[in-house]
């Protein structure tokens, strides 16, 4: 068969798989095991060995599957990684978001670009990997709940660490139009809860106003925001170049004349370096526990301040000589490196020593939107890229 025919078959296969994948309603937080079973079945039939890791309720699943090298020769493995969850759909779609539809060289559907398109490509390509004389392991990593602060990936990562899979190259196929992304800021979200003592407004000294203590906490955060600016690293590649902090909401109180016993604050920070996240947390915790809380407890011993971590997506740091970026550049011929403002699982893989790059089909412009789509040409580009991965993985 000619190469062109091969590519056409591959492409048809990828479209078929993508259509199937979109039909699984894997909105973050929901059961994704039917989709995982589907992927596992394909890989299993090709001789891959896999294992699963789960959330506490065993409702949501990560799959890690391996096509073993046929010739062992010290070559570091490749991990092809994607998240299986999609963001919820809002009203206004032109067609059913969970039925793939092709129109004007685009394939529409929730998750088409973010990021089932990539998963479809790697699954469509897997039979070729399996039939090749691989001289390195090719891993497939499919996680749950990336869109809600990367909840699934850390569970997988700690298992990888246990199994000694802590080197090699990881390619995360988030939609980048097949461009290389080699860094992004972290994204940490918190809710801090204050509980004081209700009372009549005419006797503020007898109550503990949760709203007032929360306000002081907010002021402290804003003060620390200035400190973060002053900590701006030299040669920062980000815009803005320093770690940011933002208060998303303050909720508390029931009436003008009632001392509020409850209040909570939603806030987030985007650290440019991990140290900033540590600095900020230790400063604000110290202020809460050593200044605010003792004052509150003096009046009402059961007062409390609790900071809940909603999610801490760690940053993805630019490596000077990134093996992963070199690997991808070698295939695509594109030596550019870009920074993005969205978070990914990249920092988690990087943290255990795996050289990581974000590069995948489709555009982030279409992600999370009504009528999400992927340009069909992007699927072709990704399949061609995988051909390159294979050529670098055979002897």
* Residue ranges that bind Zn ion, judged by CB under 5 A: 114-115, 174
Distance CA 83, CA 173 (A): 9
The values of phi and psi at residue 275, to 5°, are -60, -35
**The pair of three-digit structure tokens given for residue 175, joined into one six-digit string:** 């939609």
Position with the least CB separation from Zn ion: 114
Cα dihedral 63→358→239→271 (10° resolution): 30
CB of 149 to Zn ion, least distance (A): 12
Question: Which listed residue (114, 145, 146, 189) is catalytic?
Answer: 146
CB of 206 to Zn ion, least distance (A): 51
Strand partners, 308: 191
CB of 84 to Zn ion, least distance (A): 10
Q: Which is nearer to Zn ion, 195 or 345 (CB)?
A: 345
Distance CA 382, CA 359 (A): 9
CB of 52 to Zn ion, least distance (A): 21
The answer to whether the beta carbons of residues 287 and 195 sit under 8 Å apart is no
**The pair of three-digit structure tokens given for residue 170, joined into one six-digit string:** 């990881």
Active site residue 85: yes
Q: Which is nearer to Zn ion, 84 or 269 (CB)?
A: 84
Distance CA 389, CA 395 (A): 12
Q: Which is nearer to Zn ion, 283 or 338 (CB)?
A: 338
Distance CA 19, CA 255 (A): 53
CB of 83 to Zn ion, least distance (A): 6
CB of 364 to Zn ion, least distance (A): 8
DSSP string, 90-151: PS--SS-TTS-EEETTEEESTTIIIIIHHHHHHHHHHHHHHHS-BSS-EEEEEES--TTTS-
Q: Which is nearer to Zn ion, 19 or 143 (CB)?
A: 143
Active site residue 105: no
Q: Which is nearer to Zn ion, 60 or 390 (CB)?
A: 60
Left (φ > 0), alpha (ψ -120 to 50) or beta: where does 177 sit?
A: left
The answer to whether the beta carbons of residues 137 and 67 sit under 8 Å apart is yes
Q: Which is nearer to Zn ion, 114 or 137 (CB)?
A: 114
Q: Strand ranges (DSSP E) for 214-303?
A: 244-252, 258-259, 262-270
CB of 358 to Zn ion, least distance (A): 10
Task: Give CA separation, 197 vs 12, 189, 205, 214, in Å.
Answer: 65, 27, 11, 13
Question: Which listed residue (85, 147, 189, 276) is catalytic?
Answer: 85
H or E stretch covering 210: helix 210-230
Comparing C-alpha atoms, which of 351, 281, 364 is closest to residue 316? 351
Q: Which residues belong to the active site?
A: 85, 146
């Amino acid at each position: 068969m000619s190469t062109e025919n091969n590519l056409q078959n591959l492409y048809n296969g990828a479209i078929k798989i993508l259509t199937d994948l979109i039909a699984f309603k894997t909105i973050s937080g929901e059961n994704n095991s039917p989709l995982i079973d589907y992927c596992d079945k394909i890989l299993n039939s090709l001789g891959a060995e896999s294992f699963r890791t789960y959330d506490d309720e065993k409702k949501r699943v990560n799959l890690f599957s391996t096509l073993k090298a046929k010739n062992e020769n010290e070559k570091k493995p490749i991990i092809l990684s994607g998240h299986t969850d999609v963001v919820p759909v809002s009203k206004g779609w032109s067609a059913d978001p969970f039925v793939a539809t092709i129109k004007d060289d685009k394939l529409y559907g929730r998750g088409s670009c973010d990021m089932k398109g990539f998963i479809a490509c790697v699954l469509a390509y897997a039979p070729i990997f399996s039939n090749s004389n691989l001289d390195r392991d090719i891993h497939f990593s499919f996680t749950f709940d990336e869109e809600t602060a990367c909840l699934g990936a850390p569970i997988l990562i700690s298992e990888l660490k246990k199994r000694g899979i802590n080197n090699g190259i990881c390619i995360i196929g988030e939609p980048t139009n097949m461009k290389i992304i080699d860094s992004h800021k972290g994204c940490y979200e918190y809710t801090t809860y204050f509980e004081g003592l209700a009372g009549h407004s005419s006797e503020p000294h007898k109550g503990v106003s949760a709203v007032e203590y929360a306000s002081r906490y907010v002021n402290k955060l804003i003060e620390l925001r200035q400190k973060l600016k002053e900590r701006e690293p030299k040669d920062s590649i980000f815009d803005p170049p320093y770690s940011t902090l933002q208060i998303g909401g303050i909720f508390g109180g029931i009436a003008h004349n009632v001392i509020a016993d409850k209040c909570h604050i939603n806030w987030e920070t985007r650290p440019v370096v991990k140290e900033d996240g540590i600095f900020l947390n230790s400063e604000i915790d110290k202020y809460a526990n050593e200044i605010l809380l003792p004052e509150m407890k003096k009046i009402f011993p059961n007062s409390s301040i609790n900071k809940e971590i909603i999610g801490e997506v760690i940053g993805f740091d630019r490596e000077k000589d990134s093996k992963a970026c070199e690997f991808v550049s070698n295939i695509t011929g594109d030596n550019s490196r870009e920074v993005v403002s969205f978070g990914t699982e990249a920092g988690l893989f990087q943290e255990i020593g795996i050289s990581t790059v974000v590069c995948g089909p489709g555009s982030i412009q279409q992600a999370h939107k009504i009528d999400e789509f992927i340009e069909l040409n992007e699927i072709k580009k990704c399949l061609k890229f995988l051909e390159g991965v294979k050529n670098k993985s055979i002897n």
